[in-house]
Structure 1
Amino acid sequence: MPDLFAPVAAALARPGRPSSDYDLNGATPLPEGARLRPAAVLVALQQGPDGLHLHLTKRSAQLRHHPGQIALPGGKIELNDPSPVWAALREAREEIGLDPANVEVMGTLAPHRTVTGYLVTPVVARVCAPFVLCAEPGEVEEAFCVPFAHFADPANYRIEGRLWRGQQRCYYVAPWGPYYVWGATARILRSLADRMAE
């Protein structure tokens, strides 16, 4: 049996570069005195009978920020989190019921800057054994898996745009089935796909 995680491990071993929600729109400097807030997300991959699967969430429509959007499990890094990896694993446990003991961290991608003022560290990990997805009702409307092969192929991404704060903003999208994956989530996954394609 081929090791389905080998291409991911090889990609993580290659040098990467930071990404940003501004990649398609030109750099935007931070306002004077402002600082990016640290956050982390988990790119959780699990082997299934038909290949690797990626765990995603649909954020609750009641949330103040990014309601209803498709996202990787994760959130801001708290003061008592010793590392971005720890924060990503903590958030995944809270949001989808993934026990950190059931996770093998493979590595991290370069940080991603969002238009909402976060610097997000993507943590790539292998889910070692099947588990029962349990969406945290306060934050997550739905927890689900999608075929990772779709997001590992750069050809499945396209560029779209919309008006945001009075300006046209372009961003990556990679829809799958009923799920419209876009923005920071799509950009982070595109970064991994690009490194796997090198």
Structure 2
Amino acid sequence: MTASDVRNRLLDAVSRASGASSDYDLNPNVVLPAGRVLRPAGVLVPFVVEDGEVRVVLTKRSSALKHHPGQVAFPGGKVDAGDDGPVGAALREAEEEVGLPRESVEVLGELPSHETVTGFRVTPVLGWIERPFIPRPEPGEVEEVFTVPFDHLADPSRYTIQSRRWRGMHRFYYALPFGPYYVWGATARMLRGLCERLAQ
């Protein structure tokens, strides 16, 4: 499959209608508080072309961070007052966290929002990057930047459902192992949602 074929598949995927996802999708017995307020956020799902192969850029968060230390995540964060919504937040954060110039990103579209257990409504923004860029991890936030082949994340058989104890109960979640990296939780759920759209 050529890079152009992958780009067309991604464009087709973001055009499909579907509902929002949640960290609670695999935990239907969790009762969420009525009237909860979710904070808007945006993450960039950056697809880069490397030697003709399409790969998605992911980060490993700094182990010194207070929240989610060492976890694999997309570049992104909460929507600030000066951002142009979730897309603006995703592009700004990608530039700050991994040194990806926003002018190098072609925004292909957005996926439905994803609710996290930490109280965010995250909008995944698909970005296409034709020109190579050298990642520059922000030392205070990002420990490592790595890429995963498109074929790996687009294969439903690569995703597993796992569980662990969290706040006194068993919580189930998606995981997408890749070599030494353990992609799980919200990041894996958003990729799983994209995978489902790609398979339609």
Shorter-normalised TM-score: what interval?
over 0.9
Give the drift of 1:33: 5.1
Aligned residue number for residue 147 of structure 1: 149
User: Which of 154, 171, 179 is matched with 1:169 structurally?
Assistant: 171
- Gaps spanning 5+ residues in structure 1: where? none
**Structure 2 match to 1:115:** 117
Out of 125, 132, 138, the residue aligned to residue 130 of structure 1 is: 132
- Alpha-carbon deviation of 1:32? 4.9
Q: Which residue number corresponds to residue 27 of structure 2?
A: 25
Query: Paired residue for 1:11, among 8, 13, 23?
Result: 13
Structure 2 residues without counterparts, runs of 5 or longer: none
Once the two structures are aligned, what percentage of the paired residues are identical? 54
Shift in Å at residue 155 of structure 1?
1.2
Structure 1 equivalent of residue 58 of structure 2: 56
Cα offset, 1:72, TM superposition: 0.6
TM-score (norm 1): 0.96
Deviation at 1:82, TM superposition (A): 2.0
Post-superposition offset of 1:50: 5.0
Q: Give the AA of the match of 1:139.
A: E
1:69-80 paired onto structure 2 within 5 Å = 69-80=71-82
Of 41-50 and 59-68, more deviation after overlay is shown by 41-50
Q: CA RMSD in A?
A: 1.4
| CA displacement, residues 130-185 of structure 1 (integer Å, 9 cap, x when unaligned) | 01100000000011112121111111100000000000000000010100000000
Structure 1: 4+ residue segments shifted above 6 A: none
Figure out how many residues of one structure are paired with residues of the other and give that number: 198
Distance 2:162 2:79 in 1: 30
Matching residue's letter, 1:161 = S
Q: Which residue of 2 aligns with 1:89?
A: 91
C-alpha separation in 2, matches of 1:134 and 1:37: 27
